[in-house]
């Protein structure tokens, strides 16, 4: 469409002037003058406007060359993805090319204008025109940290094929040097995975090469056969502490390597594989490293009867444990069980009998007192029963369903001395409301608890008939013990020790001094901690949870927590919480008294404040804090974030850090980040969204974020 046009039928060309509008194949052009070659399907428009809704992009250009129905070129162009009437950011380019066939746009000699101010020059930039992946440079990331100084990386994305791609990232750390990172992803009909590695030649602070590699794969080999692989290796213990971006979080002292093949169908599940751990915490000694399991074989069988309340099951496991310092061995565990589940809408009654048979064979024994083999057989009997009552009630003209659910769980396991069995992969389970109904207070099979006890509990809920919300949810419970608990985690023959530092727990063998490891006395209390939990949801946006554990032996609170959370659809978040725990040799050797506040809250206009303050009251120490500002509208987002934190696993756990390592491991660090995110293009700056999702509970990643 135009005000006037001249058509040459011989040359099949047309010249048009005035208010030209041309639309084809998801692109619209408007200009003052235009020339069309109808034979070659080409066109030239001058002083033109353009819009590609799918990208979405809109802009202006001095000259637009339409090469064919898929490709167009632009001279002296300016474009943005902001909605009409908003030009907060604009990219000006000497030359630009849009290709609908490849879904890729390219601009050369470009510079970014933000709020009318030139912000960044880019000799080359590529960007997607639709949701297809395209090769090209991604936005640079930068940060400034105490540990590494300036931290700058420029990723290059290589779209190798529809089902695999690669991201190559050169990275410069001003205090350490240059490093390279490569990340390869693949997807096939039967598998998907990620292969990645990093290499820093000659760390300038440590004067050594540093590297890391990993391979994660999940494959469906047949309908019933699958595999899961997670292989990891780092060059040294402090690799992640030193070289993670300061927005990263170290969540473990160990780097796992696992590989398993699984077979499953109705009534049978078989898996076999390996487990290995590498220490990535400088506080972990060689003795404290978990055992490697090379291999582990699991076979679980179960069978139910259609017309009978009868269920048969058998759990089988073989594990071979290997350690450089501690005693090695193999473990075979077989647990057949039979249960009679009587269940209805009014309640349930489930008696169960199982037999735990375990055989150990030891090799590479470092302790001469260790026997060559140990066999253990223990029966377990339990009865789990409960009732459910409900009634319709009304409060202030509102209708609710009130439920009362009493439950009783009886457990009987005879005592057997297990001190000659080393602790390969077993730990004490934490105490909470759910643990009141477990048949063993230890994980895995190296310890089977002795028990003659009954759990009494009561749950109650108030459910709104109008909204389905639960404004009140209550759980009460504790365990009554009919005998002392004598099984413990200690190993009666653990290592050679310095006799001068031992009391009654020492003994001699062949003139060498040995110590009982962790010689804890039997537990003689008649009742467990009293556990009470109250939680609920006042509205769709506001919820709360509280819980306490009362220790009747010490006549004090053993644990407590309270928290309130607010959420709404505008990504407004407020979390306020507190937790307390007495000193506990298994889970809290230093005790816990910690407050935690986090938020994302509107200030004015489109500005938001966000932050977190996690404070260890008993140590008078801030373990995590950050504060930032964010502005967000329809086409861009700007964020500033300042963080002060304790780097490493010890900061977010209750581990007792050795005195010699405290100046290093508990030294606070600071970092500062700036991020600009342009809708439709890559973000400029560090990836902050993943950090906020981990540290700001309830925060949702924006749907237009490219991170």
Task: State yes or no: pLDDT of 576 exceeds 60.
Answer: yes
Q: Which two tokens stand for residue 471?
A: 């404004």
pLDDT tens string 60-86:
899 988 888 788 899 999 988 888 878
CA 82 to each of CA 102, 107, 687: distance values in angstroms, whole numbers, following the listed order: 23, 18, 22
**d(C-alpha 692, C-alpha 630), whole Å:** 12
Q: Which CATH class is domain 4-130?
A: mainly beta
Peptide bond into 292 cis (omega under 30): no
Strand partners, 462: 402, 472
Q: Which two tokens stand for residue 415?
A: 């005592």
CB neighbourhood size of 390 (10 A): 13
- Given a contact cutoff of 8 angstroms between Cβ atoms, the answer to whether 416 and 449 are in contact is no
Task: State yes or no: pLDDT of 661 exceeds 70.
Answer: no
- Residues whose CB is less than 8 angstroms from the CB of residue 34 and which lie 6 or more positions away in sequence, other chains included: 2, 15, 16, 17, 20, 22, 43, 44, 45, 46, 48
Share of the chain above pLDDT 90, in %: 49
CB neighbourhood size of 174 (10 A): 12
Q: What is the pTM of this model?
A: 0.81
- Given a contact cutoff of 8 angstroms between Cβ atoms, the answer to whether 368 and 509 are in contact is yes
**d(C-alpha 639, C-alpha 608), whole Å:** 9
Q: Binning pLDDT at 50, 70 and 90, where does residue 515 land?
A: low
- Residues whose CB is less than 8 angstroms from the CB of residue 12 and which lie 6 or more positions away in sequence, other chains included: 37, 38, 39
Q: What pLDDT score does 495 carry?
A: 45
Range from 25-39, 316-330, 361-375, 415-429 carrying the lowest mean pLDDT: 25-39
- Nearest Cα neighbor of 155 from 166, 168, 143 is 168
CA 20 to each of CA 3, 24, 63, 431: distance values in angstroms, whole numbers, following the listed order: 7, 13, 14, 75
Check the CA dihedral 552-473-588-564 and report its sign. negative
Q: What pLDDT score does 541 carry?
A: 93
Strand partners, 326: none
- Nearest Cα neighbor of 191 from 133, 274, 257, 261 is 261
Range from 141-145, 253-257, 269-273, 703-707 carrying the lowest mean pLDDT: 703-707
Mean pLDDT, the chain, rounded, equals 85
Give the gyration radius of the chain's Cα atoms: 33
Q: Residue 206 — φ and ψ, nearest 5°? A: -110, -10
CB neighbourhood size of 396 (10 A): 4
Range from 292-306, 382-396, 502-516 carrying the lowest mean pLDDT: 502-516
- Nearest Cα neighbor of 137 from 163, 156, 150 is 156
653 vs 364 pLDDT, higher one:
364
**d(C-alpha 571, C-alpha 563), whole Å:** 19
CA 334 to each of CA 67, 318, 376: distance values in angstroms, whole numbers, following the listed order: 73, 9, 11
pLDDT tens string 309-320:
999 999 999 999
Got the DSSP string for 645-662? EE-SGGGGS-----GGGH
pLDDT, average across residues 152-165: 88
Q: What pLDDT score does 505 carry?
A: 44
CB neighbourhood size of 124 (10 A): 12
Got the DSSP string for 274-324? EEEEEE-STT--STTSPPEEEEEEEEEEEEEETTEEEEEEEEEEEEEEE-S
Strands 141-145 and 668-678: antiparallel
Ranges 36-40, 158-162, 300-304, 522-526, most confident: 300-304
CA 662 to chain centre: 27
Range from 11-25, 199-213, 504-518 carrying the lowest mean pLDDT: 504-518
Task: State yes or no: pLDDT of 251 exceeds 70.
Answer: no
Q: Which two tokens stand for residue 372?
A: 């060559």
Q: What pLDDT score does 520 carry?
A: 67
Strand partners, 474: 460, 534
Q: Binning pLDDT at 50, 70 and 90, where does residue 474 land?
A: very high
**d(C-alpha 306, C-alpha 218), whole Å:** 35
Q: In which order are the strands placed within the sheet that holds 506-509? A: 494-496, 512-515, 506-509
Q: Binning pLDDT at 50, 70 and 90, where does residue 454 land?
A: very high
Range from 149-163, 493-507, 514-528, 656-670 carrying the lowest mean pLDDT: 493-507
Task: State yes or no: pLDDT of 499 exceeds 70.
Answer: no
**d(C-alpha 497, C-alpha 77), whole Å:** 78
pLDDT tens string 102-157:
778 889 999 888 888 888 788 888 777 777 777 777 767 777 887 888 888 888 88
- Given a contact cutoff of 8 angstroms between Cβ atoms, the answer to whether 683 and 677 are in contact is yes
Q: What pLDDT score does 686 carry?
A: 53
- Given a contact cutoff of 8 angstroms between Cβ atoms, the answer to whether 331 and 424 are in contact is yes
**d(C-alpha 163, C-alpha 674), whole Å:** 33
For the chain, helix, strand, coil in percent to 5 are 5, 60, 35
Q: Where are the domains of the chain?
A: 4-130, 135-322, 326-567, 582-707
CA 577 to each of CA 573, 594, 600, 649: distance values in angstroms, whole numbers, following the listed order: 13, 8, 15, 21
Range from 15-24, 432-441, 554-563, 619-628 carrying the lowest mean pLDDT: 15-24
């Amino acid at each position: 469409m135009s005000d006037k046009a001249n058509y040459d039928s011989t040359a099949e060309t047309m010249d048009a002037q005035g208010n030209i509008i041309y639309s084809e194949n998801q692109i619209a052009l408007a200009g003052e003058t235009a020339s069309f070659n109808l034979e070659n399907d080409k066109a030239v428009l001058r002083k033109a406007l353009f819009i590609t809704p799918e990208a979405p992009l809109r802009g202006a250009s001095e000259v637009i060359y339409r090469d064919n129905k898929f490709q167009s070129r632009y001279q002296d162009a300016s474009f943005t993805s902001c909605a009409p009437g908003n030009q907060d950011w604009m990219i000006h380019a000497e030359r630009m090319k849009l290709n609908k066939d490849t879904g890729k746009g390219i601009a050369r000699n470009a510079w970014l204008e933000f709020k009318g101010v030139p912000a960044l020059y880019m000799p080359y930039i590529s960007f997607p025109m639709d949701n297809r992946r395209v090769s090209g440079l991604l936005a640079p990331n930068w940060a400034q940290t105490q540990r590494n100084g300036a931290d700058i990386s420029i990723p290059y994305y290589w779209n190798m094929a529809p089902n695999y791609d690669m991201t190559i990232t050169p990275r410069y750390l001003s205090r350490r040097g240059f490093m390279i990172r490569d990340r390869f992803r693949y997807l096939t009909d039967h598998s998907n995975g990620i292969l990645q590695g990093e290499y820093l030649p000659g760390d300038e602070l440590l004067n050594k090469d540093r590297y890391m590699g990993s391979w994660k794969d999940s494959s469906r080999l047949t309908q019933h056969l699958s595999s899961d692989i997670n292989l990891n290796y780092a060059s040294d213990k402090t690799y992640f502490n030193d070289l993670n971006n300061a927005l990263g979080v170290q969540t473990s002292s160990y780097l796992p390597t696992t590989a398993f093949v699984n077979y499953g169908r109705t009534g049978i599940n078989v898996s076999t594989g390996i487990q290995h751990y590498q220490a990535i915490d400088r506080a972990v000694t060689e003795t404290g490293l978990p055992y490697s399991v090379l291999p582990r074989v699991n076979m679980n069988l179960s069978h139910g009867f259609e017309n009978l309340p009868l269920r048969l099951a058998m759990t089988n496991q073989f594990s071979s444990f290997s350690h450089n310092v501690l005693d090695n061995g193999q473990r075979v565990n077989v647990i057949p069980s039979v249960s009679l589940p009587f269940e209805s809408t009014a309640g349930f009654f489930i008696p169960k009998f199982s037999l735990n048979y375990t055989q150990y064979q030891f090799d590479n024994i470092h302790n001469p007192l260790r026997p060559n083999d140990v066999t253990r057989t223990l029966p377990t009997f339990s009865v789990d029963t409960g009732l459910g009552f409900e009634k319709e009630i009304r409060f202030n003209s509102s209708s609710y369903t009130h439920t009362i659910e009493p439950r009783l769980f009886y457990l009987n396991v005879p005592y057997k001395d297990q001190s000659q069995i080393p602790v390969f992969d077993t730990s004490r389970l934490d105490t909470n409301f759910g643990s009141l109904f477990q048949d063993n207070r230890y994980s895995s099979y190296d310890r089977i608890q002795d028990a003659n006890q009954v759990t009494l509990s009561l749950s109650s809920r108030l459910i709104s008939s109008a909204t389905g919300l639960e404004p009140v949810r209550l759980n009460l419970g504790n365990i009554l013990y009919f005998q002392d608990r004598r099984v413990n985690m200690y190993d009666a023959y653990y290592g050679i020790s310095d006799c001068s530092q031992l009391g009654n727990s020492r003994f001699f063998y062949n003139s060498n001094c040995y110590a009982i490891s962790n010689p804890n006395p039997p537990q003689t209390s008649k009742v467990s901690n009293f556990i009470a939990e109250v939680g609920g949801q006042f509205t769709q946006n506001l919820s709360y949870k509280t819980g306490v554990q009362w220790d009747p032996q010490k006549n004090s609170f053993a644990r407590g927590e309270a928290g309130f959370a607010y959420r709404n659809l505008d990504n407004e978040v407020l979390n306020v919480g507190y937790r307390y725990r007495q000193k506990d040799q298994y889970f809290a050797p230093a005790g816990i008294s910690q407050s935690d506040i986090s938020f994302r809250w509107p200030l004015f206009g489109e500005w938001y404040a966000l932050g977190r303050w996690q404070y260890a009251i008993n140590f008078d120490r801030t373990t995590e804090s950050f504060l930032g500002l964010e502005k967000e509208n329809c086409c861009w987002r700007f964020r500033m974030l300042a963080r002060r934190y304790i780097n490493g696993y010890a900061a977010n756990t209750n581990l007792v850090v050795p005195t010699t390592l405290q100046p290093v491991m508990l030294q606070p660090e600071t970092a500062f980040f700036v991020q600009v995110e342009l809708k439709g293009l890559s973000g400029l700056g560090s990836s902050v969204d993943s950090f906020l999702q981990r540290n700001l509970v309830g925060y949702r990643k924006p749907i237009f974020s490219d991170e």
